[in-house]
Structure 1
Amino acid sequence: MAFLAGSLTLTFLRIDQTINVAISKFSAAGAGLIFQSFVLIFWVFYFGAEEDSLVKRSINGFTIPRTPAAQGGASNGVAHGVVTPQQQHQQLNSVVVAPTAEYAYKARALYSYEANPEDRNELSFAKGEIMDIVDNKGKWWQARKQDGSIGIAPSNYLQLI
């Protein structure tokens, strides 16, 4: 907030210096700085507001909520556009597993892992098991076990070989 306030002050000073000059390119720069000041004021309100405040809820109200139908999945009996916080959390944390992906890496399981029964994408594995990995970026890697089963596995349980 301190940086935003400081940059807003400097922007106002620069607007005053550029807008009162007879040269057209300085006037254009002043107009751009006026626009920038509006953006900075918006940021002050948004980042300075409490998480459950009227300001934050109003600004976040302009976003489009994720619904199962909008993501190409079934609505599971939920009316379109109505998503519970639990469903929204599950949608944001879901990972799409691509069965035809190219597996570029191999990894060994450092520990055993039991998949969460509520997440059908997770993969259970035993310590020492060797798996093929699609990509080694992120906290969850898409893996294929030797038996052909595909899913995601926590990266901190695996070591590339």
Structure 2
Amino acid sequence: MGRTCILTFIAGSLTLIIVCIDQSLNPAWIGESAKFSAAGAGLIFQSFVLFFWVIYFGAEEESYVKRSINGLTIPRTHVGASSHTGAAMGSSPHQQAARVAPGQELSSVAVAPMSEYAYKARALYSYEANPEDSNELSFAKGDVLDIVDNKGKWWQARKADGTTGIAPSNYLQLI
């Protein structure tokens, strides 16, 4: 529905721009042709942008065109994304469950030590933070952690000693 509305507005805009380009490049006033030629050039550039948007919004979500265009964007980074891309050798099944497969979304958690901790959670299992990721928090089974927000797969947490970081939600149980 939304995609159709956007495409309709773009098509209307494109029609008006093409009419303006025609009027700018073929002015009825001969003495004003330089000004209108410059405006026409700008409108031509704007029409290229609108054609791009028609192609982008007209493509299906999983189409080659949409994936190619989205591939040109700067990828979103997630806190700790580099260390959560697969199961580590020799890790327990619980640690493997906490890891995220490539392409799977993580909830982006900003680690801010001065946040308000609204929840408490008990660690169901011990968790050893990846040494390559300074945002992860290690904890032992039975530890009680303060939690900022309990949405997503990784929660921002604080241990009793004051250290903060992110912890896998499937290792914790709210109390």
Give the TM-score normalised by structure 2. Answer: 0.50
- Consecutive unaligned residues in structure 1, runs of 5 or more: 78-84, 155-161
Q: Is the 8 A contact 1:49 1:56 kept in 2?
A: yes
| Unmatched runs of 5 consecutive residues or more in structure 2 | 1-6, 87-99, 130-135, 170-175
1:11 alignment counterpart: 17
1:93-132 equivalences in 2 (<5 Å): 93=107, 95=109, 97=111, 103=114, 105-109=115-119, 112-113=120-121, 121=136
2:42 to 29, 32, 53: 32
SS state at 1:25 partner: helix
| Residue 20 (str. 1) matches residue 30 (str. 2) | no
Say if 1:8 and 1:40, in contact at 8 Å, map to a contact too. yes
1:43-122 equivalence runs, <5 A: 43-63=53-73, 86-90=101-105, 93=107, 95=109, 97=111, 103=114, 105-109=115-119, 112-113=120-121, 121=136
For the structure 1 residues 48 and 106, does the alpha-carbon distance in structure 2 shift closer, same or farther, using more than 3 Å as the test? same
Larger-Rg structure: 2
Task: Give 1:125 deviation, angstroms.
Answer: 5.7
Tell me how far apart the structure 1 counterparts of residues 122 and 38 of structure 2 sit (CA, whole Å).
Answer: 61
SS in 2 for 1:151: strand
Structure 2 partner of 1:159: none
Question: 2:163 maps to which residue?
Answer: 149
How far 1:31 sits from its partner (Å)?
Answer: 0.3
User: Counterparts of 2:122 and 2:22 in 1: how far apart (Å)?
Assistant: 63
Distance 1:88-1:16 versus aligned 2 partners, 3 A rule: same
**Runs of 4+ residues deviating >6 angstroms:** 64-67, 114-118
Q: 1:6 to 1:116 in 2, by over 3 A?
A: farther
Percent identity reads 53
Do 2:25 and 2:33's aligned partners in 1 also have CA atoms closer than 8 Å? no
Seen in structure 2, the aligned counterparts of structure 1 residues 96 and 73 have a Cα distance that, compared at 3 Å, is farther
Query: Does the CA-based 8 Å contact 2:113-2:164 persist in structure 1?
Result: no
How many residues end up aligned between the 2 structures? Answer: 130
